[in-house]
Structure 1
């Protein structure tokens, strides 16, 4: 990864904050643009997910199984411990199903892209991080409906059916299939790999555009939900602390080396916010807070990663 891209990814939180502010200002000044922003949001999300998925080695899934202890720790942490932890944390939130759904959506799914960058910056095992990403991606797509059915089955079914979420399924599955096809095409011949490197620059500016559009389209919902948004920020901070401590416990239990423990901490601490954003955007009127809390989460997470980069290699896994 180039130094320029590392610098961009380390400072991306300020870009997102700027774009959210700009979106709120534009949405307040010209509220009629809301429908245009909502229409533009979907194709931008497709391109964003495609650019992100191309960075996941989807054709190298079996590489994840080369280290069974690390794999067991990562799967146990991401798909057993953290979902239970997320469910426990939302019990302290106001009894608003839309608010709780948004938090659960984003905390249930582990990151598949920038946690590799933070693992590299934090002295983790980058090879293990890259090998884990395709398994994390496929597992979350399969398990997310199961988790939501278990914790919010009746409430969710009352407002959302399969006919309502098909646009979100298309937005996620279409770029995923395109990325699988692209990966095969890019690697044969190998000189096309430069295309993947160019696509790796896209997610940060595209996500900045997405948060601008969401803020501009939902400015009214944001104003009405400021109090609720403030409630979820401490929850996300607590989640970051508990995720890292869970990684420490799993690393000790599985007797992993320190570099793999750091990678595990960054994997458990980072979430896949924009893969669940399309599903939140399909929710009916009155449930806009779900999308808002999903947009807020990566901002808290990125500040948390600044702390992680000091805490994880210097204190937690020396």
Structure 2
């Protein structure tokens, strides 16, 4: 794990603070507004271009792990997100939608890093990426409309258009780029000149988007700072409860140590960049929803780093040679 990845939580917080200070000191809000969505769209294209659908076949070798992760991610977690929002954020509809958007989108990028750190099964983890992406693409509008209730206040057509813009367009561009670069230049050229640079772009573009969003909504953050602190309790409950449930189910189902790590990471890590992009596109007149989504990774990334150490599998100790 690179130094930049280890410091990601701090750098997200720094980008937010720089954006907040700049937005309060200078009248750059309108200009910053136009930078948020393009930065997120390019970032998601860079994320998707690194995804290899060839790994999907590996999910057949771990049916119990895959089935359990899908139930936790797409049945249990949405129900928990609704319960946490209704129980702890009942008077804050924008925070409820922000929490819902964050929790119902399983991670499709950085959880691989933490899975590798904890010595999980990275092959199966990679195979789950396109599966999780397609399912959240299809189910996200359903979750928002059904579980968001009156707090959502958005029609199905607007939400579908936003998902199409934020997920389908970058995904289609990434697939075309992967195919064309390999078809006309070869796999080695694609790895060196497409996937390599794309991996280096993701984090800087995320920081640019966060900085621009806070510069754009500096006044909103200042006015609602106390309300944003209310998100810490439901997020803390989620990031404690999910690893415990995943670990308990892993032991109950007698999964191997590597599969147990993989299940814990894929059900705990959330996809805040995608959730943020959808919030910006679907709720442009409700900026508190997007601002709320930045709180998630500030708590999530240190938690994932800690979990990776707690569930880290031990390498088998080589047996000593018997004396002759």
TM-score normalised over the length of structure 1? 0.90
Counterpart-to-counterpart distance in 1, 2:283 and 2:119 = 40
Shift of 1:284: 5.0
Q: Does the CA-based 8 Å contact 2:243-2:268 persist in structure 1? A: yes
- Residue of structure 1 equivalent to 2:105: 109
Q: Does the CA-based 8 Å contact 2:41-2:277 persist in structure 1? A: no
Kindly report which structure 2 residues correspond to 1:160-199, keeping only aligned pairs within 5 A, or say none: 160=155, 162-163=157-158, 166=161, 169-188=164-183, 189-191=186-188, 192-194=190-192, 195-199=194-198
- Residue of structure 2 equivalent to 1:288: 287
> What root-mean-square deviation, in Å, do the aligned CA atoms of Structure 1 and Structure 2 show?
2.0
- Residue of structure 1 equivalent to 2:317: none
Kindly report which structure 2 residues correspond to 1:41-190, keeping only aligned pairs within 5 A, or say none: 41-58=36-53, 60-90=55-85, 91-156=87-152, 158-160=153-155, 162-163=157-158, 166=161, 169-188=164-183, 189-190=186-187
Structure exhibiting the larger radius of gyration computed from Cα positions:
2
Counterpart-to-counterpart distance in 2, 1:24 and 1:308 = 30
Counterpart-to-counterpart distance in 2, 1:206 and 1:269 = 23
- Residue of structure 1 equivalent to 2:221: 222
TM-score normalised over the length of structure 2? 0.89
Structure 1 residue ranges without an equivalent (≥5): none
Shift of 1:183: 2.5
- 1:163–1:251 Cα change, 3 Å: closer
Does 1:14 find its partner at 2:10? yes
Q: Does the CA-based 8 Å contact 1:58-1:183 persist in structure 2? A: no
- 1:216–1:53 Cα change, 3 Å: same
Q: Deviations over 1:261-288 (max 9, x none)?
A: 1111111111011112223223253x22
Counterpart-to-counterpart distance in 1, 2:181 and 2:6 = 27
Aligned residue-pair number? 308
Counterpart-to-counterpart distance in 2, 1:273 and 1:163 = 20
Q: Deviations over 1:139-178 (max 9, x none)?
A: 111111121222124443x444524763553232211101
Q: Deviations over 1:105-133 (max 9, x none)?
A: 11001000000000001121111111111
